[in-house]
């Protein structure tokens, strides 16, 4: 709210913030419906449709933006319904739950417990769940969607090499509009950069005072 809403107000855009069926944590009583489940993704699409029906929304300029777990959800939702979104912009996203599980096993054991609680076990226990909720397993759907991915070189929560692998797979699948940068940063995002890109795509002149800073998400 404090980072996206001021930018939306300056640009005159609507803001929709989905709840993802709660946090991707073991303590979430609805944890199996969180972490990129089909239900969580359907919630986002249903909310977008409701907003477009009940407010003066330009259906030709609906954008997805997210960082970390939000980037994970944004990619999955764009893959489910690429025709709905003009573009998706993600920062330090989780793109492969298998790769992330392996990284967490070495670095952050408490995240491993949360991830396995949400999905019902390890990748060896429930491989289909890990595949279903990993953007890297469904990326062909993004073939014609404008996708921008940013990843901090010093990100120790989700290694930037995960995004490098994801982009390579996107290009191998024939994706036509992929933009990628590795920036000198950590697990963070710069929302003003995203809004400026969206404004260019929508052919909207950004207001001079539409400034935004970094949003750091720590693990």
Domain extents in the chain: 5-216
Residue 40: which residues within 8 A CB-CB, separation 6 or more? 18, 20, 21, 33, 34, 73
Q: Which of 49, 27, 30 is nearest to 40 (CA)?
A: 30
pLDDT of residue 150: 98
Output b/e per residue, 90-99; b: 16+ Cβ within 10 A. bbbbbbbbbb
Per-residue pLDDT band for 219 (boundaries 50, 70, 90) equals very low
Strand-by-strand arrangement of the 178-183 sheet: 63-67, 87-91, 146-152, 178-183
pLDDT of residue 214: 54
> Considering only the top CATH level, what class is 5-216?
alpha beta
Q: Return d(Cα 76, Cα 55) in angstroms, integer.
A: 25
The DSSP secondary-structure symbol of 68 reads T
Encode pLDDT of 29-86 as tens digits: 999 999 999 999 999 999 999 999 999 999 999 999 999 999 999 999 999 999 999 9
Query: Do the beta carbons of residue 148 and residue 87 sit within 8 Å?
Result: yes
Global pTM reads 0.93
Q: Return d(Cα 206, Cα 120) in angstroms, integer.
A: 45
Q: Would strands 215-216 and 188-189 be described as parallel, antiparallel, or unpaired?
A: antiparallel
The DSSP secondary-structure symbol of 27 reads T
Q: Is 176 helix (H, G, I), strand (E, B) or coil?
A: coil
Q: Would strands 63-67 and 87-91 be described as parallel, antiparallel, or unpaired?
A: parallel
Per-residue pLDDT band for 15 (boundaries 50, 70, 90) equals very high
Encode pLDDT of 126-162 as tens digits: 999 999 999 999 999 999 999 999 999 999 999 999 9
CA distances in angstroms from 215 to 93, 189, 195, listed in the order given? 14, 5, 14
pLDDT of residue 146: 96
């Amino acid at each position: 709210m404090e980072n996206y809403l001021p930018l939306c107000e300056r640009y005159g855009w609507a803001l929709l913030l989905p709840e993802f069926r709660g946090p991707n944590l073991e303590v979430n009583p609805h944890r199996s419906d969180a972490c990129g489940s089909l239900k969580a993704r359907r919630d986002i699409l249903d909310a977008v449709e409701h907003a477009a029906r009940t407010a003066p929304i330009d259906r030709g300029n609906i954008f997805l933006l997210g960082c970390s777990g939000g980037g994970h959800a944004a990619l999955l939702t764009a893959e489910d319904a690429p025709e709905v979104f003009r573009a998706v912009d993600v920062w330090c996203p989780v793109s492969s739950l298998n790769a992330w599980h392996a990284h967490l096993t070495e670095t952050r054991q408490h995240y491993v417990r949360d991830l396995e609680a949400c999905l019902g076990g390890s990748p060896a226990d429930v491989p289909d769940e890990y595949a279903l909720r990993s953007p890297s397993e469904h990326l062909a759907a993004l073939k014609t969607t404008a996708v921008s991915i940013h990843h901090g070189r010093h990100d120790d929560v989700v290694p930037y090499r995960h995004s490098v692998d994801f982009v390579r797979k996107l290009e191998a699948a024939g994706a036509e509009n992929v933009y990628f940068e590795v920036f000198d940063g950590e697990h963070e995002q710069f929302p003003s950069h995203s809004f400026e890109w969206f404004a260019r795509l929508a052919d909207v002149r950004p207001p001079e005072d539409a400034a935004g800073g970094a949003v750091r998400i720590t693990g």
